[in-house]
Amino acid sequence: MCGRYAITLPPETYRDFFGYPEQPNFPPRYNVAPTQPVPIVLEDRGERHFMLVRWGFLPSWVKDPKDFPLVINARGETLETKPTFKAALKRRRCIFLADGFYEWRREGKEKTPFLIRPRSRKPMPMAGLWETYMSPDGAEIDTAAIVTTDANGTLSAVHDRMPVILSEDDIAAWLDVRDERADVMRLVRPCPDDWLDLVPVSSRVNKVENDDPGLMEPLARPEPAPVKEKKPKVKKPLSSDEDEQGSLF
């Protein structure tokens, strides 16, 4: 899955890479977490655009968001069948701006963080879905989730899932939603092993409050940290992906 990631390249690097006309100015973020505002790129009538959304997908048909799971990841295998994702797959595909993500290897009561980045050190186009939710009082919120797939060989030593990372050649096909019959599921697959580097990093990344360049510094050896025992909560919703994530609101 993907529960934390980084956006550290200069804004103009992303703008040149994806080709949107907006000129946003945003600071580097080394520990992006669920429910935070995050940048995506989408396409509208053949033109690409930059947009900020809430990380945590909320379908338009939900009546009470408090009773709906926090969907930060959308399993690729379910995109065509789950009501949550079917419409967005056809009409509202997007790409998350990112240049690295974190994953944890769990061993017994410990978990060890790793940073995964493109060897090219270019932007890492993570496939996503977005949706605009309107509450009963008329308030709107734009939300999105990262599409996941089976881990490739590089990631399999740490976790069994990973984000769908698109090639530069496949970006256009994923963003183009003008033809609802287009076969985009062919793009929902693990990226080649040699695209990515995987290095152990500090367990400081476990805390959302930590957001600095030191989080991405490779360590000479892995740094496991104890897994905190979670107290059971009544009627706590689950993510549509692998882990319990909490509530969006």
Domain boundaries, the chain: 4-215
Told to judge if 191 belongs to the known catalytic residues of this protein, a careful annotator would answer no
- pLDDT at 86 (0 to 100): 95
Q: Which fold has domain 4-215?
A: hypothetical protein yedk fold (3.90.1680)
110 included as an active-site residue: no
pLDDT at 23: 97
pLDDT of residue 66: 86
Q: What is the pTM of this model?
A: 0.91
Q: CA-CA distances (angstroms) from residue 174 to 105, 130, 154? A: 30, 13, 24
Amino acid letter, residue 166 = L
Parallel/antiparallel/unpaired status of strands 225-226 and 161-163: unpaired
Cα 112 to Cα 157: distance, rounded to the nearest angstrom = 12
Tell me the pLDDT of the chain (249 aa) as tens digits: 789 999 999 999 999 999 999 999 999 999 999 999 999 999 999 999 999 999 999 998 998 888 899 999 999 999 999 999 999 999 999 999 999 999 999 999 999 999 999 999 999 999 999 999 988 888 899 999 999 999 999 999 999 999 999 999 999 999 999 999 999 999 999 999 999 999 999 999 999 999 999 999 999 999 998 887 666 554 433 444 444 433 332
Q: Which of 2, 43, 131, 191 is catalytic?
A: 2
- Cβ distance 145 to 128 under 8 Å? yes
pLDDT for the residue 197: 96
User: Cα separation of 217 and 112, whole Å?
Assistant: 14
- Yes or no: say if 41 and 20 are a contact pair by the CB < 8 Å rule: yes
The distance from CA 61 to its chain's CA centroid, rounded to whole angstroms, is: 22
Phi/psi for 188 (5° steps) reads -85, 90
d(C-alpha 96, C-alpha 146), whole Å: 7
Query: Do residues 147 and 76 lie in contact, with contact meaning Cβ atoms separated by under 8 Å?
Result: yes
Distance between CA 86 and CA 226 in Å, rounded? 38
Of the candidates 43, 103, 131, 191, the residue annotated as catalytic is 103
SS3 168: helix
